[in-house]
Structure 1
Amino acid sequence: MFHEGPSWMTEAMRAARSLTATTRKTRGAGHSVYVVLLRDPRRSDPWGLYVGQTSRDPDLRFDQHKAGYKASGAARRFGQQLLPDLVAHLNPMRRWEALDLEAALAEAFRAAGVPWVEGGH
């Protein structure tokens, strides 16, 4: 993943693993949730997470954020890399569940002590 990461990453992984997708790999399962590692050196704890959902490949969606296409400002400016290991056990799923899990992931990360969480709408 990355060498010297945030101290809360283990708890974030536990939080993500506590969630499940009931429509995973079912017919019509074409959506994914994704997590982007954020880094803003101006913050006291510079690391954070952005949570999103997409019908596209998460790698392509990350590239779109970085290019400014339908981008989250945080993901565009501070996105470092995707963290697919956090959500591989969830994807792919139906659209309604991706929307639900996007919000649930953001809340779970906050509860796990991640100081800066964006997205999760």
Structure 2
Amino acid sequence: MYVVLLHNPSRREPWGIYVGQTSRDPDWRFDQHKAGYKASRAVTRFGLRLLPELVDHLNPMRQWESLDLEAALADAFRAAGISWVEGGH
């Protein structure tokens, strides 16, 4: 699991979160997003940095666990009041 801080100053709510899952190192995956490879458009354009402190305690996990947790974590951020949440498929 990894979480990326998003920032788009032209939005009404300029700060957001992207939630993703990968079997790779999150830093490497973030670099892929920024380079446009298998990338979320939101992370490519607005991704600032990883927020490992939010998910490091959850890693590592099995792939099936991460798929369920990715969606649950995105929903939890929305429930906590973060209106711009991407990912969590």
TM-score range, shorter chain: over 0.9
Query: In 2, distance between residues paired with 1:35 and 1:49?
Result: 7
Q: What does 1:26-65 correspond to in 2, within 5 Å?
A: 33-65=1-33
Letter in structure 1 aligned against 2:27: D
1:58 shift after superposition = 0.3
Query: In 2, distance between residues paired with 1:120 and 1:45?
Result: 19
1:96 shift after superposition = 0.2
Aligned residues with identical type, % of pairs: 78
Q: Compute the RMSD of aligned alpha carbons.
A: 0.4
Gaps of 5+ in 1: 1-32
**Greater share of helix residues, 1 or 2?**
2
Structure 1 residue 76 and structure 2 residue 44: aligned? yes
1:116 shift after superposition = 0.2
Q: Which residue of 2 aligns with 1:104?
A: 72
SS at match of 1:48: strand
Paired positions, count: 89
Structure 1 residue 120 and structure 2 residue 67: aligned? no
Gaps of 5+ in 2: none
- Higher Cα radius of gyration: 1
Query: In 2, distance between residues paired with 1:60 and 1:79?
Result: 14
User: Among residues 51, 67, 82, which one is paired with 2:35 in the alignment?
Assistant: 67
Runs of 4+ in structure 1 off by over 6 angstroms are: none
